[in-house]
Amino acid sequence: MNEKRGLFEAADRGSIFFDEISTLGLETQAKLLRVMQDKEFMRLGGTKTIRVDTRIIAATNIELEELILRRAFRQDLFYRLNVIKIELPPLRDRLEDIPQLVSHFIDIYSRENNREIEGISEDVMEILENHDWPGNVRELENVIERAVVLTKSKLITRTALPAVMVSGDANHNLSLKPGQTEAFKDLTRSFQKKVILNALRRARGVQKNAANSLGLKPTTLNEIIKRLKISQDELD
């Protein structure tokens, strides 16, 4: 009976990529660490030790240091992985990449859905460049996939975008309506809370990252959160 080669064996003298490595369970983390340290493993049910020389590339959108503090990620594995660290800025900080990404995703999903989409309208590009992209590139990919499926013509227009992107989030409208008597202090507090909540959501609840995006010290942000009585339930 022929034994099936696993990923590590297939990647010998090459590279293996672990996406969202933060989602690995502790047991799997221990196995990965062992392979990285010893550069050898046994096939499931096998008796022969197989040596490999493989480059490990891992990606995560969650701060592993936070998971280490919660005992959800092994510190020794983190140090093994954290040899060369490349930080990719969020999509909102590299808007110049959006046109190329849009073209790339249109090409993929046009072929996948047997459509002939040539591009997007100028006002759609403006909407995309003004969006905050809390879900980064994956959110953009989902938006384009949806637009390709819904578009009736060869050009994606605003009618194919999610309604919240076209109309804008009503929760961000802080202007006072005629006859409204909301005090300036309350309005300021409301604005602060919405800004903090948006930052926390973009940072997936990691206060350190949210503080960096706001230009605040983590301790300062923590004090503001306590003062505004922001709860975990409001982030969901």
Q: How far is the C-alpha of 21 from the C-alpha of 24, rounded, in Å? A: 6
Q: What is the pLDDT of residue 191?
A: 78
Both tokens assigned to 47: 């008796």
Amino acid at 12: D
Q: What is the pLDDT of residue 117?
A: 93
Q: What is the pLDDT of residue 170?
A: 39
pLDDT in tens for each of the 236 residues of the chain? 456 677 888 888 889 999 889 999 999 999 999 888 888 877 776 677 788 888 999 998 888 998 999 999 999 999 999 999 888 888 888 889 999 999 999 999 999 999 999 999 999 999 998 888 878 898 899 999 999 999 989 999 999 988 778 765 434 444 545 555 555 566 677 777 888 888 888 888 888 888 888 777 888 888 888 888 888 777 76
Domains annotated on the chain, with CATH: 7-81 (3.40.50.300), 91-167 (1.10.8.60), 171-235 (1.10.10)
Q: How large is the C-alpha radius of gyration of the chain?
A: 23
Q: What is the pLDDT of residue 28?
A: 92
Q: What is the pLDDT of residue 174?
A: 46
Helix (H) or strand (E) run with residue 76 in it: helix 75-81
42 CB contacts (<8 Å, ≥6 apart)?
A: 48, 49, 50
19 CB contacts (<8 Å, ≥6 apart)?
A: 59
Spatial CA neighbour of 61 closest among 164, 161, 145, 139:
139
Residue 7, sorted as left (phi over 0), alpha (psi -120 to 50) or beta, turns out to be: alpha
Both tokens assigned to 130: 């003004």
